[in-house]
Structure 1
């Protein structure tokens, strides 16, 4: 059954984007034969594949980037748990490739069975590659032990007051972001 499906897929016409680009390139060659056709995004993409026959590695390679620095750069870790918008997502070696947006919450890095590092992240993205490499980019990240629970609760109260007294859409949106971040921060610090 799989062989029939694969054969059926290989007989199908090129995907619409590829066919549309071929049409564009043909038209370009007729209109401007002395100019190369324009590049498109797929010209710059490389296919990331794990080398065949290598199996699943024992460790996950983690890159954890912030605008002002790097927390982990090609570090070998056991696992990472990220606060994705769709829910907490655990990443182990061999994880399915995916991209997720981060919500305010706790990012947990298990470097070994006994060494666990936790960070509070405000927002960002996680990209899991098929090569057991995970890239985390966060706007802000703070080691969890550096969060002051009382300051987080005070920030939440202030953000709720700002939301209640907001007079325009921009002020409401800014206050709502504050409520979401301080709610997650207060929960993480307990």
Structure 2
């Protein structure tokens, strides 16, 4: 059973300052998992605070700090930046792939990957979050009810693939699916 906002606030305020500072330090570094780990480590046995409630408490702290949190910079999706990044890859790029991923902070997002041969591997080219997609997909644009993250990732990934003369693969462009089939030559 989860705690309501008032109970979470009361619990938070009952913590020693050192513990609050440690948790807030992780929050300010945008390190949700470490904050949740500390909250459950100190809260599980004495207060029954599991991962779900710990995430709510951490979210309260994210809301408290807002823009002060050191977020990772937004990925650029313009072709010039992506092409410049691709030019620095060791190995031959054989495909550009878009894959769904998600977490408790960003919800669903898409990772754009360069698939390489000689050596075989994958290099992350960009991460397309909701905030990133909003810069590249206008509200008026007809997206056919598709997630803006998918539209932005597909547009950028397809442009890069065309620039590199390699295939573009996005197994599930219409529905978030982090287990969709991956690209195979």
Asked if these proteins are the same fold (TM beyond 0.5), I'd say no
Tell me which structure has the larger Cα radius of gyration: 1
- What's the TM-score once normalised by structure 1's chain length? 0.24
Please give the TM-score of this superposition, normalised by the length of structure 2.
0.25
Structure with more contact order per residue of length (Cα contacts < 8 Å, sep ≥ 6): 2
